[in-house]
Amino acid sequence: MNKSRIIIATIFIGWLPFFSFAQNICGTDIYLQKQIEENPLIEQQVEAVWEMDGLPESSASLRNGPYVIPVVFHVVHDNGIGNISYEQLESAIEVLNEDYRRTNVDSSATRAIFKPYAVDSEIEFRMARIDPDGNCTNGVVRLNEPNYTYDVWNDPKSISYWPSDQYLNIWVVNSISSGGSSGGTVLGFAQFPGTGSWSTYGIVVRHDRIGKSGIGTSVSDGRTLTHEVGHCLNLMHTHQSGCGNSCHNSGDRVCDTPQSDHPTYACDITKNTCNTDSIGSGSVYANDVVDQIENYMSYDECQNMFTLGQKSRMHNVLENISQLQNLVSTSNLMATGVYDQQDNLCRADFETQSQIVCVGQPVDFTDRSFFYPTEFEWEFEGAYPNTSTEQNPTVVYTQPGTYSVQLSVGDGTNIVTDTKTAYIKVLPYPGSSSPLQESFEFTTSDLELNNWFVDHSDDSNYGWEHNTDEAFSGSASMKMNQLGETEGVASLISPAYGLSNLVNATVSFKTAYAQQTTTDNDIFRVYVSQNCGETWALRYVRGGNSLASIDQTSVELSNLSPSDWLDHSFNLEAHFLTEETRIRFQVTTAGGNDIFLDDINITGTLDSIPMLVYPINSTTSSAEKTLLNWKATPSTTYYEVQVDTDPSFNTSNLISAQKSYLGISSDDIDTQHELTGLTVGQTYYWRVRTATSDWSETWMFTADDSEPVGVESLKDVTSISLYPNPSTGLVNVVSNQNGEANIRVYNTLGQVVVDQQNYIQSGVPTSIDLSQMANGWYIIETNQNQMINREKVIIQHR
């Protein structure tokens, strides 16, 4: 066996005691083993790099000043979870510079026997100020990518990367895979220089290990990053190669770092795992010494030093590997803006926890401008309030739609502006009512127009798409393109559903999938959110053979028959039954065939007592016209509605009405009652019951002088007539004018469901087909000769 294979084997033997105690661990060795398994040549590459050890006496540098390394942080978060502050990232840089320049306050804790070798590494780190395109940056890229922040290895590197000969890439995530090992939480891992692709070179680290304890989410001293950067600069673990007969091929191959046989954690100053420290040429120790537990490349928590030999080793790779030579070159420091760093206001920027929200859901905007603005001017299309001068305002959107946001920031001298068009997508509230069925029979393949969303890497070869070639029923389904893909995650996310009138619910759906080989283990997960996607809970998992519905094949799936589809179902607990429930279908690819999804159903038992929907309790509504709305119940003969100025419902102002029951759909006109001519400033109480049930909750609203909300705000102009009305689907529009007309049909949420152009002749009917629309009322609007005319029509299928 050659030397390199002895060394590599020793690495992995050294893991065993480490995992048995389920400690927090560095994943670099696990990552290296994965690299070697995928490409055996990596073993030779890493051995060649490790031989660039450098002797302590050769480490004197001719440089005038320290090496400076530009840094970029890629913060990959899940709707704000893990989206750490700039202050926390600055703290991480501060810790790195203290440790690598030996200005750390605990440097005095280095024991006397090691102080002669504890040195300033003469390496500094600065967050980039110019990005690869030459634009201003603060050295941080923020990505709301839930699929790429949990249980990861190289996953986040595929969605955000800056050239590694210009920047040290650090990916900040929520959690890291254990690599299949039993025990141990991986806090971070790095790639040794010159091993594998430079496009994956850098560090992956958990967000709670970034910066000093107490700053943001950090629960540590921040030295996980110190340790992992050491690996990126060719430092090994102090126990990497175990005990041996020479400091050049034992321990970490640095002759002023005593050999160590295995990881230790307890900061035991008497610990001495090797008795061979003085054996062989090059050792600085005349006698055997204790382990150097204070070294940053140990696993002990009392770290406080690098050695002269480690400094030499790091300088060697910076001076002799071309990729790293450029990284620290003066020309690159100037190109990345860190040579003579001046932080002037240069960019307006902002973000939200989520860009997809529901009507009425507060949206928190966070200013991410750089550097140091003092003045803020926000403009929010479609929101309340629609302007703000706060740095981090909160607004609410009252109507479904897609809206732009603009931010201008100033520092007393300069003003810069950022406008993000179509930035916020607002979903209806309440969501579509149960019972619900989705078979993806869309009239357009644009998923977002149907309030469905996909989440995957933009440059990937895999992902969800609308498919009209295969279906269990109808003519369409959703297809996860992943044939031949071995690594990736993609999600399909539903609209918001209104399920609060269910006392129990079941979600069912069908998939079609085949493995290519018996080892394929594609995973299909289903998550559910009770709050419009703010948080998600895993509710269902199938994978590998248990997901397969078709025999193994490497041929693209086609001509599917009903027997090729697999049934799935799971129950929804009560806390998921809200007015903004959403579902996320997520696939982790692992080499199998494509996956098809169809026929999603949400069914359950309706509550026998009506549930109120609108106006939302304790809000305001238009005195001119307010449309009360509630959820349907199981079969009854009628609904009774009461409205009064007192919650006792026994004053002379009491309004009572009955609505004949039509069915279990909450979108019919039997679950609505219109109020007009209310008194501005008066508070009204209202409740509903069926012919046999108890009263619902009592809600209240205050009448104001605002325009009616939603489609009720469409002001009536009676220059068109509609017939028949009610209609079973075909509606004739008659205008009293001639000319080109744009005809739009709005549903009860104010959404456009029909948009067409016609030439209308006065008195001649123009037909509009609403036969595919659900029962309920709609507004038909004509824009003709610069005159807008609107009328209500009721669709009632027989």
How many other β-carbons are positioned within 10 Å of the β-carbon of residue 221?
Answer: 17
Under 8 Å CB-to-CB from 225, ≥6 apart: which residues?
92, 95, 96, 170, 188, 203, 205, 209, 210
Single out the catalytic residue among 43, 145, 228, 470: 228
The C-alpha angle 21, 25, 31, rounded to 5 degrees, equals 125
Q: Look-up: residue for tokens 């990518």?
A: 145
Displacement of CA 525 from its chain's centroid (Å): 16
Instruction: Compute CA distances 250 → 7, 246, 265, whole Å.
Output: 8, 6, 20
Instruction: Compute CA distances 395 → 33, 365, 411, 533, 594, whole Å.
Output: 49, 8, 24, 17, 41
DSSP string covering 370-402: BS---EEEEEETTEESSEE-SSS-EEEE-S-EE
Under 8 Å CB-to-CB from 446, ≥6 apart: which residues?
none
With contact defined as beta carbons under 8 Å apart, do 263 and 236 qualify?
no
The Cα 279–Cα 245 span in angstroms is 6
Instruction: Compute CA distances 573 → 438, 539, 634, 675, whole Å.
Output: 21, 10, 20, 36
The amino acid sitting at 580 is E
The Cα 107–Cα 40 span in angstroms is 40
Under 8 Å CB-to-CB from 504, ≥6 apart: which residues?
571, 572, 574, 604, 605
* Residue 534 falls in the annotated catalytic set: no
> Parallel, antiparallel, or unpaired: how do β-strands 699-704 and 739-746 relate?
unpaired
Helix (H, G, I), strand (E, B) or coil at 583: strand
With contact defined as beta carbons under 8 Å apart, do 656 and 641 qualify?
yes
The amino acid sitting at 537 is A
The residues annotated as belonging to the active site are 228
